[in-house]
Chains A and B, each alone.
Chain A
Amino acid sequence: MIKRLIPFLLFLFILGGCATLNIREQEESIHDIITLINKGENNTLMSISAIPFLFDSEIILLKNDISLIWENLAKAGFSIHDPAVKEIGYIDEEIYALFSPSMEVKTFFKKYIPEKAVLATISSKEGAFYFITGGKRTGPATLFAMKGPVK
Chain B
Amino acid sequence: MGTGEQRALHGWGRTAPTIATVVTPRTPEEVAAAIAAAGPRGIIARGLGRSYGDPAQNAGGTVLDMTGLGTVHSIDVDSGIVDVDAGVSLDTLMRRALPFGLWIPVLPGTRQVTIGGAIGADIHGKAHHVVGSFGNHVVSMTIVLADGSIHELTPDGPESELFWATVGGMGLTGVVVRARLKLHPVETAYFKVDTEQIDNLDDLMRRQTEDDDRYAESVSWFDAVTTGEHFGRGLLTRANHATLEDLSPKQRKDPLKFDAPQLLTVPDVFPPGMLNRWTGRLFSELWYRKSPTTLGAIQNITQFLHPLDIAGEWNRGYGPHGFLQYQFVVPKDRGDVIRTVLSLVTEAGQVSALNVLKQFGEGNRAPLSFPKPGWTLCLDIPIGPGLGELCDELDRVVLDAGGRHYLAKESRTTPEAIRRGYPRLDEWRKVRAAVDPQGVFASDMARRLELI
A binds B: no
Q: Which residues of B contact A (CB under 8 A)?
A: none
- Give A contacts to B, CB under 8 Å: none
